[in-house]
Chains A and B, each alone.
Chain A
Amino acid sequence: MAIFNVHVIIENKPGISDPEGETILNDLVLKGTHSAISKIKTAKMLKFTIKEKDKKSAQTRVKEICDELRIYNPMVSKITIDVFDS
């Protein structure tokens, strides 16, 4: 068994408006000189620390927890899971 850091990013599915990201883009970034930026999306990240036998098991286990406890609402959100060695 080893310790892994698992990052879960929760963000709106494509097509669902993200007014916070739009405000950061339009009212902050684009009001400066950063015209190369075309999109900003906000998301929430949860960092899990987990003891598991390997990276794949750590990812599977965290995904199961997210689904079981409805850590994200599948009607509007999707998650991306990244696993790192601690």
Chain B
Amino acid sequence: MKIGVIVFPGSNCDRDMYHVLTDVFKLDAEYFWHEKGLPKNIDAVILPGGFSYGDRLRSGAIAAHSPIIKDVKKMAEKGIPILGVCNGFQILVEAGLLPGALLKNTSLNFMCKWTSLIVENNKTPFTNKLKLHQKIPIPIANGEGRYYVDDETLKKLKKKNQIVFRYSEVVNGSSDRIAGVCNEDGNVVGMMPHPERAAESEINPIDNKPSSLIFESLLTTIGVKN
């Protein structure tokens, strides 16, 4: 069982993600540089946070055309679990794997703070160990984190159960307080907050268990744990 962590020029949460996967959850993970392909024996793919290509043009827009994205798209079609966190979420949106857009926060500030999520869909590969409407204390760290969808797309997201996480309060002006969404099949998930910064008690002053369950869900999905 191997998890691929994709590294783009400007990724800066790749090591945090790798640490959580390997040291905390004892998973076999490997970094993959964005110019390389992904091997076929990968069981899940994670696009970590950061500032790929220095957010030039707009967050995620250039990394979305990196060579490795072709393989990510193939894996998405096969149903392999794919998680994008923060800039990884922005890249999945810009690559067309998830709907919507991420705009500048209404405050115009880079927001780095603890917030709280509500689980809206616990059927995805990354949320199946969580309870519906469970709260997750978790940090955000972004400047372009305001998720936007038009009314028509929002209706479709609700109908197809594609809203995975909502903020428990208005944080940055996101449509319908959306913090994370999935594709129609549910195997591709994107979220702005950082579960890899909240899954250990040493760095989570509130409760690390809910964020741990995001990774425990993945373990269950790929058959490492029941």
Size range of the chain B interface in the assembly: 20 to 34
Does more than half of chain B's interface fall in helix, strand or loop, or is it mixed?
Answer: loop
Verify B100–A75 contact, CB threshold 8 A: yes
A-B contact count (CB 8 A): 37
Distance in Å: Cβ of A82 to nearest Cβ of chain B:
19
For residue A42, which residue of chain B has the nearest CB?
A: B104
- Interface residues as binary, A1-24 with B (CB distance below 8 Å gives 1, 0 otherwise): 000000000001000110110010
- Interface residues as binary, B71-113 with A (CB distance below 8 Å gives 1, 0 otherwise): 0000000000000000000000110100111011111100000
Contacts of B64 in A (CB 8 A): 70
8 A Cβ contacts from B26-84 to A: 57-58, 61, 64-65
Verify A17–B99 contact, CB threshold 8 A: no
Partner of B108, one of A20, A70, A71, A76: A20
Interface residues of A (CB under 8 A from B): 12, 16-17, 19-20, 23, 69-71, 73, 75-77
Interface residues of B (CB under 8 A from A): 57-58, 61, 64-65, 93-94, 96, 99-101, 103-108, 148-150, 153, 173
23 of the cross-chain contacts (CB-CB < 8 Å) are A16-B103, A16-B148, A17-B173, A19-B104, A19-B173, A20-B104, A20-B108, A69-B65, A70-B61, A70-B64, A70-B96, A71-B57, A71-B61, A73-B61, A73-B93, A73-B94, A73-B101, A75-B101, A75-B149, A76-B101, A76-B103, A76-B148, A77-B101
